[in-house]
Structure formats: C-alpha cells, structure tokens
Structure 1
Amino acid sequence: MTGVGLAVVGLLLCFVGLRSIHLALLACGFALGWLVAEGLGASVAVAAIVAACAAVVGWVLARVVLRAALFVVGGLAGGVIGAKLFGLLEGDDGNVLLAVIFVVAVAVLSGLAAQRYHETAAIWACAFGGAGLALSGLGRIWPDTLGFLRTPDTTAEAVLSAAAWLVLGALGWTVQRRLVQQSSQAPV
C-alpha cells in the first residue's frame, strides 16, 4: 500500500504538479518528508506521519510567504530530487550528515532557480521530483523486481534507475509544459 501511495503522489507531482500550486506544495512536502524519514530509517507509520506533517508545513509556509511560493515549491521539489540523487549515488550506505547537506543544497539551488526562472524551473523540479518519488514507490511495490529503482545495489542498476528517472521526468515535464500553456491560452 505504501508503495502505491508513493507512486500515485509521485505521478501527480510529475505530470500535473504545477497545474495546481496547492497540489504541488502538498505533494512536494509529502515526498520530501517521506524520503527524508525513510532515509533515516523510520518505520512506514512514522514516515507517513512525517510526510503528512511536511506536506502541511510546506503548504502553510508557501501560503504565508506568498511572494516566495515558487521558491518554496522549487525548494521542496529540489529536496526530493536531492534525496533521489543521493540515493542513486550512495545507496543505503550513505552518511546521514552528508545526505542532509546534499539534499538541502539541491533544495536551495532548485528553489532559487524556480524563483528566478519561474514556471520553467518549477515545472522541471516538479516533474523530476515526482518521477523520482514515483519510481521509488514502484520499487517499494515490487521490491524483488523493481527494488533497484528505490536503492540500486550495482552500477548497472544505478544507471538503469537514473535512465528511467530521466525518461519519466522528461515525459512529466513535457505534459506539464503543455498543460500550463493550455491554461494560459484559455479565455477568461
């Protein structure tokens, strides 16, 4: 069940993340909370609670700091991207402090890019953050077959997981780009 939930949230973020800023905030916060809690060895129940709290905190933070909403969305999605990248590069053997520093650095860079380049960078961050979460969810649903999508053990698995992530993220970016263009061209 948890893998299905992660995959659904990841696919929503990947394909329609910026269509609704509220959905993007909640999904990014949930994803970041889940991946950080899971990376620190939390149980499924604790990870779900942390993820739900992170979703609410991210949403409230963005609502309070309205002008910085794209920074927050980009930062949360960037945190998801950073967590996925760290998992691909380090697997289960990574240093916790290094993981936190890496995730925060990617989150801040992604947030700054979203604030500077607006929708373009935010769509990119949502698409690739969602794709990473969706693939981690699939790895959780079928750990024997697709577990490498969550934490690869070999270089070949890491390359295959990264390729799947790039393809799904690019597909999500393309779909979101079209949705945003259609909504901006729709008569009011």
Structure 2
Amino acid sequence: MDGSGLGVLAVGLVLCFFGVRSLHLAVATSGFALGWLVAEPLGASVLTAFLIAVGAAVAAWVLAVLVFRTALFFVGAMCGGVIGAKLFGLLQQEGGSVVLAVLFVLASAFIVGIAVQRFRHGVLALACALGGAGLALSGLARTFPEVLGFLRYPQVPWETLVATAGWLALAGVGWAVQQRVVRDRQMSPD
C-alpha cells in the first residue's frame, strides 16, 4: 500500500463533491489535480509530483484572483485540464508523448473553460466532479497499486473500460451532490 495516494485521493474527493461550493477551493484543488495528473504519467517521483501539484495549486489560485473577471473560464479551464489529463492517462500508456499530453490537456482545458463561462454553475459542477473523480481514482491506484493500479494506467481494454466506468460513476455521484448544493444555495433566503 502506497500512502502517498491517500492525499491525492482526499484532494480528488474534495474537488469531486465540494468543488462548486467555493471558487477558491475549486481553483486550488483543480490546480493541484492538474499538476499531479500531468506530472504522474510523465514518470515524476511522488515528491516531484507533489511539489508540482502544490505549485500548480498556488499558481492557479493566484492567477484566478488576478483574473477575477474571467474566473469562471479559468476554473473551468483548470477542471478541463484535469479531465484532459485523466482522459490522456486512460487512453495512453505510461510514458507517452509529452507534446501530445500538453496539447490534449490544453485543448480540453480551453473547451471546458468556454463551456463553464457560457453555462456557469451546472457545467462547473460537472467539470469539478469529473476532475475530482479522476484524481480520486488515481489516488486509489497509487494507494493500492497491486489491485487498483490499472485505474492509473490501464494496460488492456477491459481495464480501460472498468477504469472509465468507475471514473464516470464516481463523477456522477459527485455531480449529483454538487447539484444539490447549487439548488440549496439558490433556494436559500440569504
């Protein structure tokens, strides 16, 4: 059992279930997730991936604060980057092309950022849920590599199918929880 995955799992679950509750929380956890999920498939050590993830979280938060007018686009782009990184990890074997990974993540980030800016909290909740679920599954895979390692790097088609189904199922539950939070906030007299 690798204990380093527990922290990644915790950050992923926070993003998955509570990301829409606070833009600051969504930005910081998405930045962490993006840094981790980009560093991990490129063969970074746990410490290096953690430092990159923390740096990405801080950079994401500072940038979001500085770019308040486009915060929804930026938060959506960060979550989109996380989604793109997870998709890339599911579709590409470990040690794939760095250039292809960066292009895939940037394209995903841009598309989701535009969608969040246009459609607001409903799409933001979905992006946070997908990003957080992806990070949580990567944390589980790192914590229990003998049993769940395929959640990070599926090697055969059935592993890819199971990892994708698990990702979408956890994201669906996270999205439902976040939709309830948004609905409760809208109904609140505050």
Q: Same fold (TM over 0.5)?
A: yes
Q: Within the alignment, does 1:171 sit opposite 2:176 as a pair?
A: no
Q: Within the alignment, does 1:77 sit opposite 2:84 as a pair?
A: no
What is residue 123 of structure 2 aligned with on the other side? 121
CA distance in structure 2 between the partners assigned to 1:145 and 1:167 by the alignment = 19
TM-score by length of 1: 0.97
Shift of 1:170: 0.7
Counterpart code for 2:175: W
What is residue 19 of structure 1 aligned with on the other side? 21
CA contact (8 A) 2:64 2:71 kept: yes
Shift of 1:91: 2.2
What is residue 60 of structure 1 aligned with on the other side? 62
* C-alpha RMSD over aligned residues: 0.9
Name which of 136, 139, 146 aligns with 1:137: 139
Counterpart code for 1:171: V
What is residue 108 of structure 1 aligned with on the other side? 110
Name which of 88, 97, 109 aligns with 1:86: 88
What is residue 153 of structure 1 aligned with on the other side? 155
CA distance in structure 2 between the partners assigned to 1:2 and 1:70 by the alignment = 31
Which runs of 5 or more residues in structure 1 are unaligned? Answer: none
Q: Which aligned runs of 4 or more in structure 1 are off by greater than 6 angstroms?
A: none
**Count of matched residue pairs:** 188
Secondary structure at 2:189 match in 1 = coil
CA distance in structure 2 between the partners assigned to 1:91 and 1:184 by the alignment = 43
Which runs of 5 or more residues in structure 2 are unaligned? Answer: none
CA distance in structure 1 between the partners assigned to 2:87 and 2:17 by the alignment = 20
TM-score by length of 2: 0.96
**Identical aligned pairs, as a percentage?**
55
